[in-house]
Amino acid sequence: MALNSIHWFRKGLRLHDNPALREAVQGAATVRCVYFLDPWFAGSSNVGVNRWRFLLQCLEDLDASLRKLNSRLFVIRGQPANVFPRLFKEWKISRLTFEYDSEPFGKERDAAIKKLAMEAGVEVIVKISHTLYDLDKIIELNGGQPPLTYKRFQTLISRLDPPEMPVEMLTDTLMGRCVTPVSEDHGDKYGVPSLEELGFDTEGLPSAVWPGGETEALTRIERHLERKAWVANFERPRMNANSLLASPTGLSPYLRFGCLSCRLFYFKLTDLYRKVKKNSSPPLSLYGQLLWREFFYTAATNNPRFDKMEGNPICVRIPWDKNPEALAKWAEAKTGFPWIDAIMTQLRQEGWIHHLARHAVACFLTRGDLWISWEEGMKVFEELLLDADWSVNAGSWMWLSCSSFFQQFFHCYCPVGFGRRTDPNGDFIRRYLPVLRGFPAKFIYDPWNAPESVQAAAKCIIGVHYPKPMVHHAEASRLNIERMKQIYQQLSRYRGLGVFFSSKQEVLCDGITCSSLMSVTCSSSVQFYLYNSPLKLLYIQRFGDSGEEKPQSGKRVREGRLSERAVGLVEEDKGPRHEHNQRWCLSRV
Amino acid sequence: MKRMKGGEEGSDDSSCESPAEVCKKVRKQLSDDSEPEVAESLDCNWARLPQELLLHIFQYLPLLDRAYASQVCRGWNQAFHMPELWRCFEFELNQPASSYLKATHPDLIKQIIKRHSNHLQYVSFKVDSSTESAEAACDILSQLVNCSLKTLGLISTARPSFMEVPKSHFISALTVVFVNSKSLSSLKIDDTPVDDPSLKVLVANNSDTLKLLKMSSCPHVSPAGILCVADQCHGLRELALNYHLLSDELLLALSSEKHVHLEHLRIDVVSENPGQHFHTIKKSSWDAMMRHSPKFNLVMYFFLYEDEFGPFFNEEIPVTHLYFGRSVSKEVLGRVGLHCPRLVELVVCANGLRPLDEELIRIAKHCTQLSAIGLGECEVSCSAFVEFVKMCGRRLSQLSIMEEVLIPDHKYSLDEIHWEVSKHLGRVWFPDMMPTW
């Protein structure tokens, strides 16, 4: 009997380095590449028009590339679980292939589809190609827990074999005798829909700054490498006014949708480094962007509550304020801080902002000024940011709001000074906030301080044509740093920055109550956190700095019983309080 | 910090034995009881668990679980109401519209006021950003007429909502506590509308016992108001207030012979408008403080514009902990290096465009007690940073700087700096990283 395959595209929207797609054509008589879109869902989802456009462009590009191989993309309207059983029958399918999805909801969905396929007698082949490594291997190497510091993660990575080489691009030769049956009405039934069809109003929509698709991604990676080769400097580029703008060498949205294989990027970087630096082996920092992504995927893969504060074992519970008006001002670029508003405008218009710009707006929304939950900010990014991925988006927001992973909570980005240092002339502001164009550089970051005559000359009166600042930054940061301190003091006997300025005889209950078990990680230097929750346990965690398997000092007290991911380690240097806690810890186990 | 929750309070309660001792006692009781069914009957008769053991267990349980347990039997219900379990309580007052966190149940609050208000000693109120919550806190306070509190904390967890409560309402609630509690020792009332007359009531009733007073950002208090506290409360060891309340007279009052040694003085220096003028404190007043309390911590938080630092750090000041929340100029940091010989911890959130090299070296040279430093958006060249660490050596127990502000130079690259700094610190060290995403 002839072998008929379906390759199911979700992420991984590419023909290069697509091992699951190769499996689909291997020895098959027919192959059909499908993508599921729910048009009912599209208009009502909280994904913005830029992201939809990027996705549709990716699909069109895929379809065009498949046509060159005498194949087509089948865009199926509906939900996979509803449609697959029919397709299996109709197309007499015996093999289903797709790329492994590491995210909890993806895993759940895929398990359901696998079950359906099994029931229909369809063989399922799944391949890892969205991440460099098999994330489960990283977790296994770390004793069953995802690493919670980036340093630790790097240590683990350096002990793994290098990632697998990318597989060959799908070509005519690889297709061999495998064909795609295409009907006359393919366009009507399975064509890539337009934005209008999905219910978006496209009138006046400016052209895409970031065009989607594999073809574009492959052009960009060449440019990216050329530039790196030309600079011949593999250190992190220093931030300047230009780095704030969308660059034709930027890759993050392409990695997000899988138009670009992370492994291809990895090996191209390695080759280039070896060529330029002659035989020296590349440092891990060369792959920074890829490894951060990998780090957050690893942290999230077994945590379905990764994007929530409540019930998320790695997230500190912080008493964020609920304030829909303030949130709306932030999201709609009406904070009255030109630096913040320009970034949010760029995000809305183009779908991408520089990572330091992300730090600035995230800090402003959460711990820096507005004290609004990171979950709200994450949702806005989810709508607008092309490269927002569930794991990476939530993980970065937790990081930037000091809800997890992070150690430097004493420092908040200033919504005036940070921008001024990056782009002293204010060209970035003028580009995205034309209303402020007339202000001189001296006042463009804090126009409310400009004398009336300057405002009049700029034809922009603050409070009339552009909003007044929505918060008093000095006051807000004073309050918020105090709040953060309360929280971390309660969480820890974290010496050092956490008790910077703490009172010696603090006898009042400070901070928040942690009513669910928490686990935040210790940082790179010898800091440790002591977590407590009234019910479950007091718990001290300490990792060796060099990131070896076992902590430098301390012994293992218990392994995840009360929480799924906690490994308790008790500090050797313990006072009477610690003794007490340790006993408690032990007695609870 | 001493925690007031649950079981840890037991450690300073002499009647509370360690669990091991209690167990021993219970075992002994069991073996004394020679009847063979005892062990078995104990298995199924939890009501016979001795009260002291029960109390010990209850201290580890959060309130909700204790409440469930209290429904098991009469004995457990009695245990639930033991005064020891009600000495400290944290009222959490949140509204669903303004907070993600749960609030203390109103019925529980009622019950505490009715049955346990005379047991309460360590009380804190955590209040979200809504005025309702702050008012609810005031309502509870006004009902605590038969309690005698030792510590009271009013904590705004989001925005300073006590400031929104009508002042008279707040003051009358607070004075209820002041008048009834004759042995109040700690009071944390940052960001509240407390005023001079209410502080007088505090002094009149609690001057012998007050040890800690935190009242940062209380705009209704005047320098004279706080001076009255310092004059009368000779046991005051810790004080937190804003710079505008700090005066030479206050420092002299705190260093009078009758006064105990001050341990902790925290000053917040916040600018309301750019270009604000700040008064100066005489060196002689600080000297008097130093003579009287040679070991006291002087903690200063600065939230100023760069051009407002004029009056600060021109003369020697005994500051131990310094936090610069906004951008601060190289010049001011240079003065810090010259005039802060007692400096222990320093945080600089940001500075201007030029690297901080010479300033750090000077700080390392003159601030010989410095043991913790955190640098935010402050560029430093790698070689100056290494030099700084080398000069401070192992006494730097905390060292935090973001990788992106370290500027590689001819001597060190970013990869090398981690080894070099680790070598001088005698432990493994890395700069802080932020995700590139």
Confidence bin at B436 (pLDDT 50/70/90): confident
Find the CB nearest B350 among A319, A355, A414: A414
Contact flag B404-A355 (C-beta cutoff 8 Å) = no
Q: How many interface pairs between A and B have CB atoms less than 8 angstroms apart? A: 267
Give the H or E element holding residue A56. helix A49-68
Residues flagged as binding site of A for FAD: 289-296, 387-389
Q: Residue B435: left if φ>0, alpha if ψ -120 to 50, beta else—which one?
A: beta
Contact A411 B349 (CB under 8 A): yes
pLDDT digits (tens, 9 = 90+) for A211-220: 999 999 999 9
**Does any domain span residue A536?**
no
What is d(CA A138, CA A503) in angstroms, rounded to the nearest whole number?
41
Q: What is the DSSP string of B210-224?
A: --EEE-TT-TT--HH
Per-residue pLDDT tens digits for B314-367: 999 999 999 998 889 999 999 999 999 999 999 998 887 788 999 999 999 999
Q: Among B85, B179, B83, B191, which Cα is nearest to B137's?
A: B191
User: In a mutagenesis test of the B interface, which of A277, A292, A501 is the best target, namely the one with the most B β-carbons within 10 Å?
Assistant: A501
Are B377 and A483 inside 8 Å of each other by CB? no
CB–CB contact A508 B153 (8 Å): yes
Q: Given pLDDT bands bounded at 50, 70 and 90, which one contains residue B7?
A: very low
Domain assignment present for A576: no
- How many Cβ atoms are within 10 Å of B415's Cβ, its own excluded? 12
Please choose, from the candidates B69, B312, B414, B62, the residue with its C-alpha nearest in 3D space to the C-alpha of residue A234: B414
Question: For residue A559, what pLDDT band results from cuts at 50, 70 and 90?
Answer: very low
Instruction: Write phi, then psi, for A177 (nearest 5 degrees).
Output: -95, 5
Residue A53 has pLDDT above 90, yes or no: yes
Instruction: Give the count of domains, chain A.
Output: 3
Cα of A24 to nearest chain B Cα, Å:
33
As beta bridge partners, residue A493 has none
Q: Which of A337, A423, A507, A527 to mutate to test the interface with B (most CBs of B within 10 A)?
A: A507
Task: Give the pair of three-digit tokens for residue A503.
Answer: 């009172």
Same domain, A36 and A83: yes
Q: What is the CA radius of gyration of chain A?
A: 26
Q: Are residues A262 and A152 in the same domain?
A: yes
Whether residue A515 and residue B408 make contact (CB cut-off 8 A), yes or no, is no
- Look at residue A203 and tell me if it is in a domain: no
Q: Which residues of B touch A323 (CB under 8 A)?
A: 98, 129
> Across chain A, which distance is largest between two alpha carbons, in Å?
84
A480 touching B (Cβ < 8 Å)? no
For residue A94, is it within any domain?
yes
Same domain, A151 and A125: no
Residue A195 in any domain: the answer is no
- Give the CATH number, domain containing residue A462: 1.10.579.10
* Whether B264 and A482 lie within 8 Å, measured CB to CB: no
Report, in angstroms and rounded to the nearest whole number, the Rg of chain B calculated over CA atoms: 27
Whether residue A550 contacts residue A544, with contact meaning beta carbons closer than 8 Å, is answered with yes
CB-side exposure of A219: number of CA atoms within 13 Å? 9
| Domain final residue, candidates A77, A110, A130 | A130
Verify whether the Cβ–Cβ distance A500 to B153 is below 8 Å: no
State how far residue A4 is from chain B, nearest Cα, in angstroms: 40
Is residue A464 within 8 angstroms of chain B, CB to CB?
A: no
Q: For the segment B124-177, what is each residue's pLDDT rounded down to a tens digit?
A: 999 999 999 999 999 999 998 888 899 999 999 999 999 999 999 999 999 999
DSSP string, B157-175: SSS-GGGGS-HHHHHHHHH
Q: How many CA atoms lie within 13 A of A72 on its CB side?
A: 16
- Whether residues A407 and B430 touch (CB distance < 8 A) is answered with no
Per the CB < 8 A criterion, the answer to whether A73 and A33 are in contact is yes
User: Does residue A373 sit at the B interface (CB-CB below 8 Å)?
Assistant: yes
Does residue A429 sit in the same domain as residue A401? yes
More confident call, A47 vs A521 = A47
Q: What is the Cβ-side half-sphere exposure of residue A391, based on CA atoms within 13 angstroms?
A: 22
pLDDT for residue A560 is more than 50? no
Quick check: B226 and B200 in contact, CB under 8 A? no
- In the block, residue with structure tokens 């991440």: A131
Q: How far, in Å, CA of B212 to CA of B209, rounded?
A: 9
Do A366 and A295 fall into the same domain? no
Whole-number percent of chain B with pLDDT over 90 = 58
Same domain, A249 and A348: no
- According to DSSP, the β-strands at A529-532 and A538-541 are antiparallel
Residue A584 confidence (pLDDT) above 80: no
Distances (CA, A) of A561 to A385, A485, B86: 38, 29, 30
- A414 lies in the same domain as A382: yes
Do both A9 and A117 map to the same domain?
A: yes
A384 is a domain residue:
yes
Q: Is A296 on the interface with B (CB under 8 A)?
A: yes
Please check whether residue A41 touches B, CB under 8 A. no
Same domain, A144 and A293: yes
Identify which of A293, A475, A507 has the shortest CB distance to residue B212.
A507
Local structure of residue A10 (DSSP, 8 states): S
Nearest-Cα residue of chain B relative to residue A481: B325
Which pLDDT tens digit goes with each residue over B193-235?
999 999 999 999 999 999 999 999 999 999 999 999 999 999 9
Q: Which of A401, A495, A581, A392 is nearest to B6 (CA)?
A: A581
A413/A466 same-domain check: yes
User: What residues of B are in contact with residue A500 (Cβ under 8 Å)?
Assistant: 321, 323, 345, 347, 372, 374, 398
pLDDT, position B75: 86
pTM as predicted? 0.85
pLDDT tens-digit readout, A129-164: 999 999 999 999 999 989 888 888 998 999 999 999
Instruction: Show the beta-strand stretches assigned E in A93-186.
Output: 95-99, 123-127
Any idea which residue has 């070598």 for tokens?
A: B423
For the segment A57-86, the average pLDDT, to the nearest whole number, is 95
A79 Cβ under 8 Å from any chain B Cβ: no
Who's near A325: CB < 8 A, 6+ residues apart?
Answer: none
Residue A532 three-state SS:
strand
pLDDT above 70 covers a percentage of chain B that reads 89
Q: Is residue A573, in this structure, part of any structural domain at all? A: no
Establish whether this prediction's ipTM goes over 0.90: no
Say if A205 falls within a structural domain. Answer: no
pLDDT for the residue A489: 67
Rounded to an integer, the average pLDDT of A267-282 is 84
**B432: which chain A residues are within 8 Å (Cβ-Cβ)?**
407-408, 523-524
> A204's torsion region: left (phi>0), alpha (psi -120 to 50) or beta?
left
CB contact under 8 A, B428 and A417: no
- Contact criterion met (CB < 8 Å) for B126 and A358: no
**Dihedral Cα A399, A405, A410, A411, nearest 10 deg:** -40
Q: Are A492 and B315 in contact (CB under 8 A)?
A: no
Does A157 share its domain with A292?
yes
Q: What spatial distance separates the first Cα and last Cα of chain B, rounded to whole Å?
A: 38
For chain B, how many residues are written? Answer: 437
In chain B the domains, ranked by start, together with CATH numbers, are 89-365 (3.80.10.10)
Structural domain that includes position A286: 131-166+215-302
| C-alpha distance from B272 to closest chain A C-alpha (Å) | 8
* Domain end position, chosen among A302, A335, A365: A302
Touching check for A279 and chain B: CB below 8 Å? no
More confident residue, A522 or A24: A24
Q: Side chain identity at A538, as an amino acid letter?
A: L
> Within chain B, what is the greatest distance between any pair of CA atoms?
85
Mean pLDDT, chain B, whole residue set: 87
Q: Are residues A238 and A252 in the same domain?
A: yes
CATH number for position A138: 1.25.40.80
Q: Is the minimum CB–CB distance between A417 and chain B shorter than 8 Å?
A: yes
CA–CA gap between residue A289 and residue A252 (Å, rounded): 9
Percent of chain A with pLDDT over 90: 62
pLDDT for res A281: 78
Q: Given A474, A493, A517, which residue is the final one in a domain?
A: A474
For A419, phi then psi, to 5°, come to: -65, -45
Distance in angstroms between the alpha carbons of the first and the last residue of chain A: 58
